[in-house]
Structure 1
Amino acid sequence: MSVMVVTDSAACVPAEVAAACRLHVVPLHVLRDGWDLREGIDGMPDDLGGVTTAGATPAELSQAYAQALDLSAGDGVVAVHISRQLSGTWEAGRSAAEEFAGSVRVVDSRSAAMGLGYSALEAARLAERGASLDAVYERAVAVADRGRCLIVVDKLEQLRRGGRIGTATALLGTALAMKPLLHLVDGKLVLKDKTRTTTKALARLVDTAVAKAGSSRVAVAVHHMRARERADDVAEQLAERIPDVAESTVSEFSAVIGAHVGIGAIGVVVCPLDAVDV
């Protein structure tokens, strides 16, 4: 058989894409009014205001890893998860992996959305070609290291309430009514730039993504939270300005991420692929 790759639903990988490369996706949780909803399995509420979220548990991940290991016929499992700075899922995965005597390797992507998704997909595609456990693990790490995640949100309050951004930054944004451009640095969501209007913030988002892409062959994802028109406009600009796009997608943020970034949020992931080919 071949090495199997596991990720979690924060990767925002479309179901048909995951299925095509045998990528196993473990659901994260949306909690509301006493209900524990598993992303990708249970229906999500239309209104995500006021919900809380939770990562996968060690028991859930242990079960997923065991199933994947069986499918690999013992070749091994690489598990690529959302940044440990944003979720307890990686820590739960590390704990679960201890049961498998080195057959399960766990990667902290230090990312989310398709910053995580591209790492998992590239690892899964390499695994399908018969690569070893070490090679698949190294591919996941390399792609995660090169990906860049940027996001513009309408309001910072939901990120502050969820502990995903510092209180001082959130209060500054509220006081100045700024539209921030955020990015992930070492797995943490931090302020990169601030503007006065959404139009200027989105223009800065596009400019920054283009600069990150450079002349490399890249994968590009544009995410949105119920703002498809905005996302399509950003995607069109990126397609015109980035010279070598190997793969692109436009999709909505997962509910777990959307609960924190809020309606109107736009994210861009740029992942250079040249240096990770084998």
Structure 2
Amino acid sequence: MIAIVTDSTSSLSREDAERERITVVPLQVIIGADVYTEGEDVTSEMIADALGSFVPVSTSRPTPDHFLEVYERLAAEGAEAIVSIHLSAQMSGTLDSAVLAAKQSSVPVTCIDSTQVGIATGFAAGRAAQARDAGADAAGVADAARRAGESSTALLYVDTLEYLRRGGRVGAAAALIGSALAVKPILTIADGLVVPLERVRTQTKALARLETLAVESAQACENGFDIGVQHLAGLPAATAVAGRLAEKLGRESIPVDEVGAAIGAHVGPGMISVTVTPR
């Protein structure tokens, strides 16, 4: 049996993780002096409120010991190999913790850098589960996850780059340029890093451009695609974006989810993202 592990930034719901037989290891979220566990006792609303009130918010990766505990539990339950899929190593030390734990595991563990964040990492874990259920060996399962992450397109609209600047996810120069020009930045993930893609003057124009880029990415997928919209404290706008995308792409609906607390801590309220992963 091959077990699949990911982290809580993958935005997998508990129901989806259980159905796909994916084990989720949580990150810690620190709000002020209080420490919370993502997926258990902290909500995105708490993050948005704290950021809006200028309360310090940060995140902490799972420890190697935590990963090792998970790996050994899965081995005791019958796993003969484990594929562990995580958010970009350029943005978090989560993968490093997994790699350190893998070296001590009693069963082989293959650690995969999805090079992505959010639901793109979740899609990569889902592809790994599909490959496993189709009879692939550990190498095949790992390759499915790796290819899903590398081929994904993640597009993000943020009201301001300030929160990403605070967390060190984009350069201070980019944040200053955005503030000086009063622009609404569209970002993407390239080589595992959040990078500016375009600058648009208003939120309305930025979301319209976000939709155009998402449609172009989806239409370029020859064998179909998975798509999802995420937000932080921006449900009405995210729902509207998903509705227009569904109409343009000929789908009945596109799922809309609030981004996890660990990612929300770095993107800030008002963030809306669209992720497209080719099948």
**Structures share fold, TM-score greater than 0.5:** yes
State the 1:23 CA deviation. 0.7
Partner of 1:214: 219
Contact 2:72 2:106 in 1 (8 A): no
> What SS does the corresponding residue of 1:43 show, helix, strand or coil?
coil
Contact 1:109 1:119 in 2 (8 A): yes
List aligned pairs for 1:26-65, cutoff 5 A: 26-44=25-43, 45=46, 47-49=49-51, 50-65=56-71
Residues 23, 106 of structure 1: CA spacing in aligned structure 2 closer, same or farther, 3 A cutoff? Answer: same
Select 2:244's aligned residue among 225, 237, 241.
Answer: 237
Structure 2 residues not aligned, in runs of 5+ = none
> What SS does the corresponding residue of 2:104 show, helix, strand or coil?
helix
2:239 and 2:88 map into 1 onto residues whose CA distance is 27
Q: RMSD over aligned Cα, in angstroms?
A: 1.7
List aligned pairs for 1:96-107, cutoff 5 A: 96-100=101-105, 103-107=108-112
State the 1:9 CA deviation. 0.6
Partner of 2:88: 83
Partner of 1:25: 24
Residues 239, 161 of structure 1: CA spacing in aligned structure 2 closer, same or farther, 3 A cutoff? Answer: same
Select 1:155's aligned residue among 150, 154, 160.
Answer: 160
Contact 1:223 1:266 in 2 (8 A): yes
Partner of 2:72: 66
Contact 2:243 2:254 in 1 (8 A): no
Partner of 1:129: 134
> What SS does the corresponding residue of 1:93 show, helix, strand or coil?
helix
Q: Runs in 1 of length 4+ with deviation above 4 angstroms? A: 245-248
Q: Percent identity?
A: 37
Aligned length: 270
The question of 1:205 aligning with 2:220 is answered: no
List aligned pairs for 1:249-264, cutoff 5 A: 249-264=255-270
> What SS does the corresponding residue of 1:100 show, helix, strand or coil?
coil
> What SS does the corresponding residue of 1:40 show, helix, strand or coil?
coil
1:102 and 1:142 map into 2 onto residues whose CA distance is 24
Structure 1 residues not aligned, in runs of 5+ = 274-278
Amino acid at match of 1:70: A
2:275 and 2:76 map into 1 onto residues whose CA distance is 33
1:5 and 1:76 map into 2 onto residues whose CA distance is 9
State the 1:263 CA deviation. 0.9
> Over residues 189-234 of structure 1, what are the superposed CA-to-partner deviations in whole Å (9 max), with x where a residue is unaligned?
0000001100011011001111111253010010010111111111
Contact 1:13 1:117 in 2 (8 A): yes
